Every structure is written in structure tokens, then in C-alpha cells.
Structure 1
Amino acid sequence: MPMRDQTDPGTTEPIPSRLLLGYARVSTDDQDLTNQRAELHAVGCTKIFSEKITGTRRDRPELARMLDHLRPGDIVTVTRLDRLARSTRDLLDIAEHIQSGGAGLRSLAEPWADTTTPAGRMVMTVFAGIAEFERSLIVERTRSGRVAAKARGVKFGPRPTLTHVQVKHARQLIDQGDHTVSEVAKLLGVHRTTLYRAIAR
């Protein structure tokens, strides 16, 4: 007869133990991961994912492996938050991914960033609100700037591929009848349609 797990007398199946997963990162190959790994080992991390890659990149293989490895109840631990993310938005996205999997996040250098506690979750919620507020301000400033620029006569959209001088020269070549539109377009290094649009303006 199977033994009951002592931590849960209501089940005959053992409950998977919580894992402390560490993540360590440095930006360049000549930097050392030893200190970060030692700190993470010291607090009980049983598995540490480490890599040498800039934090501005989202395609970090070891970070992806760690997130895939997460199970409910696990806790991701970093020595500092800037080892995990280089922007508030990036941090919140990663923290949300961790939380959606039923896991937690904590930083040794920033004890307030501990989503396993109510206070830590509240702080991250405030951060999310601030990030959304900042994003809204940027959108509003951009919109207001475009409106003001249009009022001054500024035109938006892609810049013309051909300069005014090139278009004038192209018209002359075509009007002389010595060259076709296709030949002139090839001479200028643009598609025939692009040249048609330019000389039609």
C-alpha cells in the first residue's frame, strides 16, 4: 500500500517539492558569473540558469529554458533585478509570465521585489500601473506632437526615394524620347512604379 505524504495526509501521492531556481547573467564573455552563482547557491537555489548575453535582448536561451522549466510553487531568484531585465516593461512581462505559471519571483538585492508575499505583489502591481501610465503619456505626447506638426504643414510618411533633382533629370530623359521609363528607372536604381509615382507628383 502506498505511503501517504507526511505534508498532506489527504493524499497517497507525494506533493512535488518547491524548487528554488536561480538566474544569473552578465553582458559580455569577459565578465564572471562566479559571484552571482555563489550567492544563489547560498540561498538554496538547486538549479541555476546562467548565460553571458546582453540584457537588452529578449531572445536569451537560458532565460527561456528557465521559464519553460517552471512549475507551480517554484521561486525564481536573482541577485539583482537588472540581471533579469533592463527595463520596467521587460521586468513586468517576465514577472507576469512567472506568476501566470503559479511561480514566484524574488531579488536578493531588492527584498521588496518578492512576489511570494502580499507586499511584493502589491509593489509589482504599482509598477505595472506606473509603466502603463508612462506608456499612455508617450502615446498622448506623440499624438499631440503630430497634430501640432501637421498644423505647421509638416507632412508625415515615407521620404521620397528620389530627390527633386533626380526626378527633374528623369523627366528630361523621358521627354527627350531617347529612353523609356523602365530604362530611366534602372539607371536611377528604382522600380519603374516608383519612378511613375515620382514624375506624376
Structure 2
Amino acid sequence: MGQRAAIYARVSTSDQSCERQVAELTAFAERGGFDVIGIFKETASGTSSNRSARNRIIDLAQARKIDAVLVTELSRWGRSTQDLLDTLNRLVGWNVSVVAMSGMTFELATPHGRMMATMLAGIAQFERDLLSERVKSGLAAARARGKKLGRQPGQRPKSDKLAPKVIQAVTDGRSYRWIARDLGINKNTVLDIMKRHRKNP
């Protein structure tokens, strides 16, 4: 029996289909001797934090039920360079690698993998610097136009809007970490919401 693998296919819009990716990855798995234990498909933009199918694969990895994740290309898996690096680091802790159809295997426990991690970290920092520069430039331009910045009086913070979903997920037995990952918020935000809920049920 080969390595246990999960196939992950993603498209950005509902008018696209994952079937071509699935067909290619299934053939790739057969050639590589992988034992496919599940095929996970989802429609989500590259930057979307709501990736339920990807989260299920991460849960399988944490439960030590897979050895590899098969993707057509890394951009299908990572939302950004930093997100890719973060998830690769989490997966390596569970001895799970991400294998792209190009033949590149990302295992951060190996010398080649550590070199890739260093490169990815550099790219991620470059992306953060560019984003920071754009944000500062955008804020300066907005101020110059006289636009008021920050939350305005009466405007509800994001945590208030997400509170019902957080409370329901906790009621359903989900962990705070899972909820934070699923809703794209900080774990501390989940904690704050639940503290407020317990004080004012």
C-alpha cells in the first residue's frame, strides 16, 4: 500500500468545474502509487478564508489519517504565501507533505523543504511590506479626500456580526481553534465573544 493521500481541487467561481483537476490528480495518484482516501472539491476565491474542504483535510492530517495532500498547483492550496507557509508548517508537524503535480514535494522536515520554507518566508515578508505600503498610501489618499477613517458611531464591529455563528459553533461542539480558522478570525476574538455571551446569555 502506498502513502495515504487526500486530493484537493479548487476553482474560483461557480461557473467553473473541479472535474478536470480531479481527473488529472487521480491519474497522478495512480502513477505515484498513492492510496487516495478522499477527494475534496470546493468553489472559493484564492483569498477566501472560508475553505471548508481544505479545513476537513487539515483535520484528517491532524488525526494522522493521511500522509500527503495532492494538488495540481500550490496556488490551489495556499491563500497567500504566508498562508501556504503556515499550513505547510502545521502539516509537517503531523508528517504530512503537500505534493504538486509538477512533481515538487513540500516537506519542510527535509533540507530541500527547509530551503523552500526560507524562500517562502522571504516572499511572504515582501508581500507584507508591499501590502503595508499600499495600505498606508491608500489611507493617505483617503485622508486627502476628507474621508473619515475607522469605525463610525453606531457601526457594529465584526465580532458582533459573527457572534451568533461563533456561539452556534461552540454549541455544536466545535473547538475555538476550528471556529477561528473557519470564520477567518483570531482565536482571541472567539474567546472574547464567548466571555461576553456567558456574562449576558
TM value normalised by structure 2: 0.54
Show the counterpart of 1:84.
Answer: 77
Contact 2:72 2:102 (8 Å CA) reproduced: yes
Distance 1:53 1:118 in 2: 32
Residue by residue over 1:85-120, the C-alpha shift from the partner in whole angstroms, topping out at 9 and shown as x without a partner, is 353233223212212334322323152645353113
Match of 1:64 in 2: 55
- Could you tell me which of 109, 120, 123 is aligned with 2:116? 123
Whichever structure has more helix as a proportion of its residues is: 2
Deviation at 1:43, TM superposition (A): 0.9
- SS of the equivalent of 2:43 reads coil
Alignment correspondent of 1:54: 43
**Aligned length, in residue pairs:** 144
SS in 1 for 2:70: strand
2:9 matches 1:25: yes
Offset of residue 149 of structure 1: 5.7
> Which position in structure 1 is the counterpart of 2:190?
none
1:21 and 1:74 in contact (8 A); partners too: yes
Q: Do the aligned residues in 1 keep the contact of 2:40 with 2:53 (CA within 8 Å)? A: yes
Equivalent position to 1:107, from 75, 82, 100? 100
* Gap runs ≥5 in structure 2: 155-201
Shift of 1:148: 6.5
User: Kindly tell me: are residues 68 and 127 of structure 1, through their superposed partners in 2, closer, same or farther at Cα, counting changes over 3 Å?
Assistant: same
Look up the equivalent residue of 1:24 and give its one-letter code.
Answer: Y
- Between the aligned partners of 2:10 and 2:52, the Cα distance in structure 1 is 13
What stretches of structure 1 of length at least 5 have no aligned partner? 1-16, 162-201
The alpha-carbon distance between structure 1 residues 52 and 74, as it changes in their structure 2 partners (threshold 3 A), is closer
CA RMSD between the two structures: 3.5
Choose between structure 1 and 2 for higher RCO, CA contacts under 8 A separated by at least 6 residues: 2
